[in-house]
Structure formats: structure tokens, C-alpha cells
Amino acid sequence: MALLSLPKSSLLRKPREYKNVYSSGKRIRGDRLTIIYASNGTEESRLGISVHGIKRAVRRNRIKRIIREFFRLNRSFMAPGSDIVFAVRTGFAADSPAEIKQLVDRMLDGKKVMGR
């Protein structure tokens, strides 16, 4: 069962970790979602989530839960050893990990992305 969990070590937690990804990472822009990724020099990928412009806490937290679930189930969508930030903007409407997967697949389709 441990393989299905998402430990805290798989999450970006400190502001400097986010800052490193934002400053040195590459961006893939989609509709109301941007994926920023950078190599972290380790074997494990880590996830960060940034939600902007969504005023209701219930909605913000639901979006974060759905993205974490997508990452937990699909850690290999980017190369191992990547720090990945999902930057969500106002109007984001995905309501399940499957919808996030479809959105990410469309964003990454045809792009040169490390490990893909």
C-alpha cells in the first residue's frame, strides 16, 4: 500500500523550492493552467501547486486535492527527478484526476519535454 501513498517528501514545501522552479524551470501553458518544471538532481519527482484568483477556499482546496491525486496516480508523466509546479488560474474547471490527465496529455502532446 505504501506505493500508492503520496509522502510529504514528494511535495514542494518551502518558498525557495518554488522560487527555484519558477526561476530556472520551463513552462508549458494551457488554458487556465501552466506547468512549470525543472530538474531537481534527485531520483524522485516533487509536486507544487499554486492557485491564483480563486476566492473560495473550498474550491481552492478541492483543486489542490484533485491535482495531488492526479500526481499520485501518474508520477511518471514527467521524467523522474523533476520539480513540477501546477499554476492554476481563475476559471479552472477540471473536477477529477482523469480530467487533469486529459488536460495534461493535451498540453504535453507534441512538446519536447524532458523524459517524455
Q: Dump pLDDT digits (tens) for 3-27.
A: 678 899 999 999 999 999 999 999 9
For 30-74, what is each residue's pLDDT tens digit? Answer: 889 999 999 998 999 999 999 999 999 999 999 999 999 999 999
Residue matched to cell numbers 518544471: 37
What are the structural domain ranges in the chain? 9-108
Whether residue 107 has pLDDT greater than 60: yes
SS3 at position 93:
coil
Whether residue 114 has pLDDT greater than 60: no
Which pLDDT belongs to residue 115? 54
Which pLDDT belongs to residue 5? 85
What CA–CA distances, in Å, run from 105 to 1, 71, 77, 99?
27, 13, 9, 10
Alpha-carbon span 114 to 87, nearest angstrom: 19
Whether residue 113 has pLDDT greater than 70: no
Question: What is the pTM assigned to this prediction?
Answer: 0.89
Cα four-point dihedral sign 51, 55, 58, 59: negative
Buried-state track 48-65, b at ≥16 Cβ within 10 A, e below 16: bbbbeebeeeeebeebbe
Architecture of domain 9-108: 2-Layer Sandwich (3.30)
Question: 8 exposed, middle or buried (CB, 10 Å; 0-12, 13-18, 19+)?
Answer: exposed
Alpha-carbon span 71 to 50, nearest angstrom: 14
